[in-house]
Chain A
Amino acid sequence: MEEKPKLKVTLLTGRTIEQGVGKEWGKSSKEYVESVSVCYMDPEDMKRLGVKDGTNIQVSTAFGSVVVKAVKSLRAPHPGVVFIPYGPWANVVVDPETHSIGMPSFKGIPATVEPAPDKPVLGLKELLKTVFRKG
């Protein structure tokens, strides 16, 4: 079987203006969900992985794995660095370790990225159902 391309990257999570505006419209709004279920990637990295703007990708860390949409970063070049806005999707893969100061590690997490064109990006309700089995 052909080996699927995989990329080792550093995952950052953070704020974007779209997420900031989306959260004010409401956390179940289309604006919010669309703004946080994405992963910004360097265009060169996308080429290497063979994914296009809008292709679904699977981001995995030691803490979990989530399918999000790849989006070409306007902030390139940043090869080897991917960015997911704060939100329920990012939380599946961030590092809960607080290093005994109370603060989990939201930035700089080793991760792998692979194309997942056949896997769907879960909606908010489905994501919560799979993760928490409640709601």
Chain B
Amino acid sequence: MPVVKAVTCPVCGSLCDDIELTVENGRIVKVKNGCAMCEAKFLGYCGEHRVLKPMIRKNGGLVKTTLKEAVRRAAEILAEANYPVLYGWSSTSCEAISVGIELAEEVGGVIDNTSVVCHGPSILSIQNVGIPSCTLGQIRHRADLIVYWGSNPWSAHPRHIERYTAFAEGRFEKSAWRSYVNKVKALVGRKKLQSAIKRLFVKKPAPVPPPISEYKPYPFITKEGRKLIVIDVRRTKSAEIADYFVQVEPNKDYELLQAFRMLIRDQELEVDRVAGVPVEYLEEVADVMVSCDFGALFFGLGLTMSSGKLRNIDAALSLVRDLNMRTKFIIMPMRGHFNVTGANIVFTWQTGYPYAVDFSLGYPRYNPGETSVVDVLLRKESDAAIIVASDPVSSFPRKAAEHLVKNPLIVIDPHMNVTAQMADVLIPSAFVGIEASGTAYRMDHVPIPLKKVVNPPKGIHPDEEILRRILKEVRRIKKKEEAA
């Protein structure tokens, strides 16, 4: 059975490129090295929810049609629209995104990618403050302190810790995995001892968890190797493996960030608690940050989505800037979809702006809050939409999604996702990274090639090809109109 090595996993922004796939009769039967999400994608990509024929809505229902007809209908919708939305792009190749932008310019619409609902605020902040960053390889080999803030890699980027940070075996920094195992053993031992003592001496155990006001830091036993700090509103799985866990009250990240900035500048805090956390504990954590040799702060949607949004990121970037006066520190957003970074990069190459680009005046304009897709939808301005490799109906607030499905909706996606069920024209596509090759950018802005491992089902093309056909058809329709 042929085994394909060094395959890139097209799921999350970690873009692990060490996956090994066993292929049998043109199907993937075994996945090695991947996490649960990776396995689900490689083994489930051809499941029952796959769309195999283009479809068009007729009398309220979706009916099968030919690719030619679907492309023609899609092009008609786009050519007729005054202000179409072109959205998605984070789960396809850079090559397809590039054609998408050309299409947006041709039809004079607003093109936006999914970063608008994940790290959009981070981008705005980075434009304000700047960002000291590096590649994940540097972190793997050199970082001796890792901080995850408002991010739960264990669930969202399952191999991030193992490949790039605390549990990675670097050249100059060793993996903290073994000492973590020892720590857990010690903790379990201690717990057993405690409960034995309780059973013997205490009659009535009181297993009531303490309210947040009686904040107790996570039990901490010093261990060797890299240190891991997790700051989050919930005690996530990632928090459980951390050396320090700071449980911040919801929507109080900004205060906590500013408190850390003060502590790092040796200023005194004249309160007992910040964001529900005792100041002594914060001082301890701040000490760890200052005394590392090379720290890396990864932040997730816990910062960008909660109250303060971009201001939280401003504060986080400033915190890292302050830390760089005492030691070396870098900061990086944890990007979700595998090519959302690539979407930002290709958008910037071609239009000058990373997302929320409006072509309605014939030249690119960028003003998030006005030209961003959720705002366009909430103001009910768009009159058609094309969604590529994304599922906004399941990720946008209801009000925004309502306007999206009310107008003619074109969906290009391999799966029958929630948005596809609402489509007026549905064109199935090949899975990029499985059935089509291409390029994607990892969260640290390193481009990584995606492999074609198996052939797509008959009659199914990659996004790039479908978009090219639509673009060609749009141009043909427009030419005809001009001539008439």
Interface residues of A, Cβ cutoff 8 Å to B: 10, 12, 14-17, 20-22, 24-29, 42-44, 63-64, 73, 75-81, 83, 86-88, 91-92, 94-96, 98-108, 124-125, 128, 131-132, 134-135
Which residues 276-323 in B have Cβ within 8 Å of A in the complex? 301-302, 304-307, 309-310
| B234 near A81: Cβ-Cβ < 8 Å | yes
Interface of B toward A, CB cutoff 8 Å = 11-12, 36-37, 40-41, 44-45, 47-50, 116-117, 120-121, 124, 152, 154-156, 158, 208-212, 233-236, 250-251, 301-302, 304-307, 309-310, 336, 356, 368-370, 372-375, 378, 391, 393-402, 405, 415-418, 421-422
B residues less than 8 Å from A28 (CB atoms)? 49, 416-418, 421
Could you pull out 5 A-B pairs where Cβ atoms are within 8 angstroms? A24-B44, A78-B233, A96-B378, A102-B372, A103-B374
Residue on B nearest A87 in the bound complex, by CB: B394
| Cβ A14 vs Cβ B301 within 8 A | yes
CB distance from B152 to the nearest CB of A (A): 7
Q: Which of A15, A63, A99, A101 contacts B399 (CB 8 A)?
A: A63
**A101, B222: Cα distance in complex, Å:** 42
Q: What's the A-B contact tally at a CB cutoff of 8 Å?
A: 191
CA distance A15 to B400 in the complex (A): 20
Contact between chains at B120 and A101 (CB < 8 Å) = yes
Interface centre among A73, A83, A104 (most CB of B within 10 A): A104
User: A106 to B422, alpha carbons, bound, how many Å?
Assistant: 23
Across the interface, which residues of B come within 8 angstroms of A94, CB to CB? 397-398
* Nearest CB in chain A: distance from B419 CB, A: 9
Q: A63-B399, A101-B121, A107-B305 are in contact. Are A27 and B374 (CB under 8 A)?
A: no
Alpha-carbon gap, A20 to B416, bound state (A): 16
Beta-carbon contact of A102 and B120 below 8 Å: yes
Q: Which residue of A lies closest to B36 (CB)?
A: A21
| Contact indicator B233/A102 (Cβ below 8 Å) | no
Q: Known: A100-B369, A103-B117. Is A26-B209 also a contact (CB below 8 A)?
A: no
Check A96 against B400 for contact (C-beta < 8 Å). Answer: yes
Taking the nearest CB of chain B, how far is it from the CB of A126, in angstroms? 12
Chain A neighbourhood of B40, CB < 8 A: 21-22, 24-25
- Is A17 in contact with B36, judged by CB distance below 8 angstroms? yes
Contacting residues, chain B, for A64 (C-beta < 8 A): 398
Asked, given contacts A14-B152, A63-B399, A104-B117, whether A29 binds B421 with beta carbons under 8 Å apart, the answer is no
- Please, which residue of chain B has its CB at the minimum distance from the CB of A11? B250
B236→A75 contact, CB < 8 A: yes
Instruction: Let me know if B309 and A101 touch, CB within 8 A.
Output: yes
CB of A17 within 8 A of CB of B374, answer no
Instruction: Please judge, given known A-B contacts A28-B49, A102-B368, A102-B372, whether A96 and B310 are in contact too, CB under 8 Å.
Output: no
* 8 Å CB contact of A77 from B211, B251, B373: B211
- Residue on B nearest A95 in the bound complex, by CB: B397
Contact B234 A98 (CB under 8 A): no
